[in-house]
Structure 1
């Protein structure tokens, strides 16, 4: 009797492995992001129900959530410029140890084009099949000229750096106050051009550039550590971003353009959950491992609606979770963040162009469908350094000779569609380097296939893990990815074909 009584508390108390598993789940980055998404939706619905203040301004809850979300995206974008610059300079400097650098760059561009062609083909097929422009109530929509138009000439001019940091300054007039408002941005493509020039110059200088390269590599490690701190507070930023999106947009605007939204999201789903897994499987890679590795970046991209803002996390999961060597990833991922956009530059403009043609009663020819595919494959470079898909859409419409005022038809629900578009963009930006690395025999397959804990997300440990500290599940720290691996070894390995 007494022994049974004494045993009862012990059997009801969670065992050490159970407590350890629960702790891993609660501290998992992916779990925290998911929890933030749920809480963000709830708080957004509450703030939306409260409504605006009598003077039309947002209520305190909505204003607070919006500030949190906007501040986090701003914080990420602030860190992007030094990350891209020093990462590209460092990676180009390592080319002296790499024998297949030109082939890697060519393969990257080739697979960018292949996946874009597949995505735009799906977009054209859905646009022709669903015919969203013929199913809409034309009296409920208003045409409007776009504020920005993408052109091939703007792309060529944009390649020339305006300054060493790629900074741009624009001035607009506030419609309510009439005051001039100036904003500072940056052209990522120009930053890449400048960084590439500096890196090539360092290569040409040889030994004389060694102090500069040492400084560059050390600075890059410092920037990556700061970025890791920013990424760790992503759940807070996610909460604010998704909540403010619910407050501002809701789902009412989807009613009029429901068929168009359905076509776009169907295309995004087909690319993300059918095309990408097929490509992974054809290269002998685990589909589950890819999604569990890339999912934190996809989640952040969905709520932030910014490939550039998500870039630090995209590069991190590509290197640490998917096993792509840093020397290659530091080139491919930033370059993909500016030119690899299957959502914004392939699926969306294809369906949107067909929608505009159907809305205005214009029959497209076979040649015009070919032009849609051509613009989507090579035209995303013309929108590098810009935000949103409007520029890409105007480039497509102008190339086809369709009315540019058709852009105004779709602006009402563009933010809602942009969430899905950006998520697919980021997934593709991590996919192509992974495939190319696998094809070239430089992918760390052991790291790609490494267990990531008990939940299907990246297994993020504390940022102060020691190199020789015991790892989880009794493994040594060296046998599993840690936050220190984000910084990389002191001497980056050569990109030579693996023996595996």
Structure 2
């Protein structure tokens, strides 16, 4: 009777992914209601107070895991691959594919925006364009030179992911070269990686509450009314993001990896929801890594290298935003950029994606670089500033999906994916709290 009761209870229990989806939906409803009410008490103590506190605690908890998880998993990945030549091949493939997807994303966005023509006839009324400053475009040589850290400890402390990855890979190669002497260190790194994944499980218990507060706060502050003045921009951007997500990335997965995109997208849903709620590729690294390894079946060695690498240099969604925003603002100001201008935009977006971090709001910083390079007024960013937070959430979900697609394609090419796990719909599903050891009895 006890076993039957337990089985029935586990069937009725809602999965973590379903809980997060419900929390996100309820958060949108609550946020819109609070935005409509416009109560000083609600805005000050609930939205800017409680919701902001819980949401920030949740995002901080995710970010807390990123550097140690990347370090220990990457050590295990490099030593697990074993052959330095294979490591170089994996790195070369992933780098080339990440740049390719970014170039495809922004080129498609520019073409689509040119066809739709958002911003034509836009009336600029009541928009505050003060206080918008331009970022400085990075020099291509500086971008690559800065990959090498002068102080590894500072790189770890500041979360400079490219520098962390570079140092950890060099350390892993040195560990490999020492041979049998490194076995205790590798065992310790493997154990610490398991500990970090257990902490991920603990943090994920609070995911529905964190997601609810983040979404409710965003919609309570932004509302839906901000979409109306820039509706053409929003529609074009969302359409471009969906085309890239379900078109370009799915096609790449099918053609280059020979895998079913529908199965893949279903398995990546938890990571996409996390990315949407946090608007940070870096904060979502633990969840993306878990989804790719436990749900999709990618080898941990490949995933531990490709996922943090992609979260740092692969920004398909952000590149799409830059393409659509550039066309939109060019139409608003009546400036014809021409073919050369848009080629410059593509090149700048690719370069900026390598040299900027995967944190909320970084897209606007990158956009100032692009606009300044092609001669568009930086103040125009104020026109789209109101809706950028919500757009940032969508494009971050696209960013991490691109990371996962490239990782899966590279793993398939290297024979490092478990197809039984990929084809199993229940593989890696998290449906309840992690059990304590004594609970097994």
Q: TM-score, normalising length from structure 1?
A: 0.79
Displacement of 1:39 in angstroms is 2.1
How far apart in 1 are the matches of 2:9 and 2:48?
A: 33
Among candidates 429, 434, 438, match of residue 459 of structure 1:
429
**Cα distance in structure 1, aligned partners of 2:97 and 2:17:** 28
Equivalent residues of 1:62, 1:247 under 8 A apart: no
Partner of 2:399: 425
How far 1:162 sits from its partner (Å)? Answer: 5.7
- Between the aligned partners of 2:134 and 2:228, the Cα distance in structure 1 is 26
Deviations 1:70-113 (A, max 9, x none): 11001111111111122222222233257622222221122212
Question: Paired residue for 2:66?
Answer: 80
2:29 is the counterpart of 1:42: yes
TM-score scaled by length of structure 2: 0.89
State the alpha-carbon separation in 2 of the partners of residues 419 and 199 from structure 1: 34
Distance 1:71 1:17, change over 3 A: same
Cα distance in 2 for residues equivalent to 1:108 and 1:275: 16
| Of 92-101 and 68-77, the range deviating more from structure 2 | 92-101
| Distance in 2, Cα, partners of 1:18 & 1:432 | 43
Give the C-alpha shift of residue 433 in structure 1: 0.8
Q: 2 CA distance for matches of 1:368 and 1:83?
A: 41
Change (3 A) 1:115 1:303: same
Find the aligned partners of 2:329 and 2:251 in 1 and give their Cα distance: 31
For the aligned residue pairs, the C-alpha RMSD in angstroms reads: 2.9
Closer/same/farther in 2, CA of residues 125 and 291 from structure 1, 3 Å limit: same
- 1:439 deviates by 2.7
Alignment pair present for 1:339 and 2:295: no
For residue 193 of structure 1, what is the aligned residue in structure 2? 166
The answer as to whether partners of 2:345 and 2:374 remain within 8 angstroms in 1 is yes
Larger Rg: 1
Please name the residue that 2:264 is paired with.
Answer: 290
Cα 1:366–1:410 shift into 2, 3 Å:
same
Q: Deviations over 1:93-150 (max 9, x none)?
A: 2332576222222211222122222211221012211222224212343434544614
Q: Report deviation, 1:407.
A: 2.4
The corresponding residue for 1:232 is 205
Correspondence for 1:330 among 291, 304, 328: 304
Distance 1:135 1:435, change over 3 A: farther
**Which residue of structure 2 aligns with residue 109 of structure 1?**
95
Return the structure number with greater helix share: 2
2:295 matched residue in structure 1: 321
Query: Cα 1:147–1:17, aligned 2, differ >3 Å: closer, same or farther?
Result: farther
- Aligned residue for 2:354? 381
Residue 175 (structure 1) aligns with: none
Say if 2:327 is the partner of 1:354: yes
The verdict on how the C-alpha distance between 1:403 and 1:155 changes in structure 2, with shifts beyond 3 A counting, is: farther
> Within 5 A, what are the aligned runs for 1:97-496?
97=83, 100-144=86-130, 146-147=132-133, 149-153=135-139, 155-156=143-144, 158-161=146-149, 163-166=151-154, 186-282=159-255, 283-344=257-318, 346-384=319-357, 387=360, 388-452=362-426, 459-462=429-432
Task: Report the CA distance between 1:466 and its aligned residue.
Answer: 11
Structure 2 segments unaligned to the other structure (5+ residues): none
Tell me the distance in 2 between the aligned counterparts of 1:63 and 1:464: 30
Are the aligned partners of 2:281 and 2:358 in contact in 1 as well (CA < 8 Å)?
Answer: no
Instruction: Provide the rounded CA distance (Å) in 1 between the counterparts of 2:36 and 2:60.
Output: 27
- Native 8 Å contact 1:356 1:402 kept in 2: yes
Q: Equivalences for 1:2-21 in 2 at 5 Å?
A: none
User: How many residues were matched structurally?
Assistant: 433
Segments of structure 1 that go 5 or more residues without pairing to the other structure are 1-15, 169-183, 471-500
**Match of residue 68, structure 1, among 54, 63, 75:** 54
In 2, distance between residues paired with 1:148 and 1:232?
Answer: 40
Q: Secondary structure of 1:151's match?
A: coil
Q: Identify if the C-alpha distance between structure 1 residues 430 and 443 changes in structure 2 by more than 3 Å, giving closer, same or farther.
A: same
Query: After alignment, is 147-156 or 78-87 more displaced?
Result: 147-156
Query: Corresponding residue for 1:498?
Result: none
Out of 72, 81, 88, the residue aligned to residue 95 of structure 1 is: 81
Residues 311 and 358, structure 2, Cα contact 8 Å, conserved in 1: no
Q: 1:419-444: per-residue Cα shift (whole Å, max 9, x none)?
A: 11111111111111112222333221
